[in-house]
Structure 1
Amino acid sequence: MKPFVLAIMLALPLPAMAETREDRVAAAAEYIELALDGFDMTAIIETMYQPILQQVAAGGQSLTDAQVAQIRQLYLDTFTEPMTTLMRDQAGIMADMMTLAEITALRDFYATPEGKSVMAKLPQLTAAQQPGMIALINDTMESLMPQVLGIINGEAPPAPTAQP
């Protein structure tokens, strides 16, 4: 009977608990470096100041090409290194949230031509979604904040207002 139990135990896949955090961190670090190789950080950062430029234009002020270039450089100088560091620091977070198999699958996907193409398109996806996200936040904050303040202050929150 003992050899039968041993054979069954050996046939079962090793549980995720057999993985070490160090294994997951190492795999996540590989994934992140692969992702960063195909990731256009400049394009992501450029999406960050576009709403400001749009607000300035909506206010009737025109910026020169030199002013836009200065704003662009300011954002690049301010955010490139810290955002890259944040992305690299996510290896530990990924290791705490995901299994080695999940991290490996992500890494392997981003190593494919399709994965590289997806990674290259993420800045455009972010840019395309940003106006809708900003509009959603702006449209809801006026009615949302009094409710949040009511909760914080221990008051009965005002009834939500109908959204258009």
Structure 2
Amino acid sequence: MRKTLIALVCGAMLIAMPAICQAQAAEPAPSAEKVALVKRYFNAIHFEQMMTGIVNQITPAMMAQVRKSHPELTDTEFQAATDAITESTGDFIKKMTDASIPVYADIFTVEELTKMDEFYETPVGQSIMAKVPEASQKLMPTVMALMPDFQADVQKRLCAKIDCSAKKANKPA
């Protein structure tokens, strides 16, 4: 059971943050100039704070889903899982940020990165970034309302590809 819980929590975190997986590909190292521009961009858009906010926003909903899916968890086990996620978030965000730098450096040109830096360092760019958390907060109820239909659709599509009824029949009680 605990392995299932750990897999569920870790899987949800990885699904939410795909940049780590993308950075695993063997790409040539980006130039120092591009790395510096990406770091400047991340600083201007408050990348780490934004990612921390996203994780903090999805964690309660994710944990509610864990609670619903695993009602047998004791309050102590559930709290331990929640605490583990909270404690791991800082390191996760730092690693995700570091892993994202070469991805951005590969995708964007020096000119694009320079223009992004210039824009997001302006008062208008900073104002936009200051409003992103509010927009995200206001969107969260809509996203969460869509999740049950999304999950049902994923399950329906999965069961169309594999025989789910056979899996349920073979599942130990």
| SS in structure 1 at match of 2:116 | helix
The more displaced of 76-85 and 102-111 is: 102-111
- Aligned residue in 2 for 1:48: 58
Letter in structure 1 aligned against 2:157: L
Residue type of the alignment partner of 1:45 = V
Gaps of 5+ in 2: 1-29, 164-173
Structure 1 residue corresponding to 2:157, chosen from 144, 147, 150: 144
Task: Classify 1:81/1:38 alpha carbon distance in 2 versus 1 (closer, same or farther; 3 Å).
Answer: closer
How many angstroms apart in 2 are the aligned matches of 1:25 and 1:128?
36
TM-score (norm 2): 0.54
Q: Mark the CA change 1:149 to 1:72 in structure 2 (over 3 Å): closer, same or farther.
A: closer
Moved more, 20-29 or 116-125: 116-125
- Counterpart amino acid of residue 44 in structure 1: I
Q: Structure 1, unaligned stretches of length 5 or more?
A: 1-19, 151-164
- How high is the sequence identity, in percent, across the aligned residues? 12
Matched to 1:75, the amino acid is: I
Q: Decide which of 25, 28, 40 is 2:38's aligned counterpart.
A: 28
What is the CA RMSD across the aligned residues, in angstroms?
Answer: 3.7
In structure 2, C-alpha distance between the alignment counterparts of 1:122 and 1:132, rounded to whole Å: 16
Q: Which structure's CA Rg is the greater one?
A: 1
Q: 1:68 to 1:125 in 2, by over 3 A?
A: farther
Which one of 81, 85, 103 corresponds to residue 113 of structure 2?
Answer: 103
Structure 1 residue 116 corresponds to structure 2 residue 152: no
Distance verdict in 2 for CA 1:53–1:23, change over 3 Å: closer
**Match in the other structure for 2:148:** 135
What count of residue pairs does the alignment treat as equivalent? 129
Greater CA deviation, 131-140 or 33-42?
Answer: 33-42
Q: 1:120 and 1:109, CA in 2 relative to 1: closer, same or farther beyond 3 A?
A: farther
For residue 32 of structure 1, report the CA deviation from its aligned partner. Answer: 1.3
Is 2:102 the partner of 1:92? yes
- What is the alpha-carbon distance in structure 1 between the residues aligned to residue 151 and residue 34 of structure 2? 39
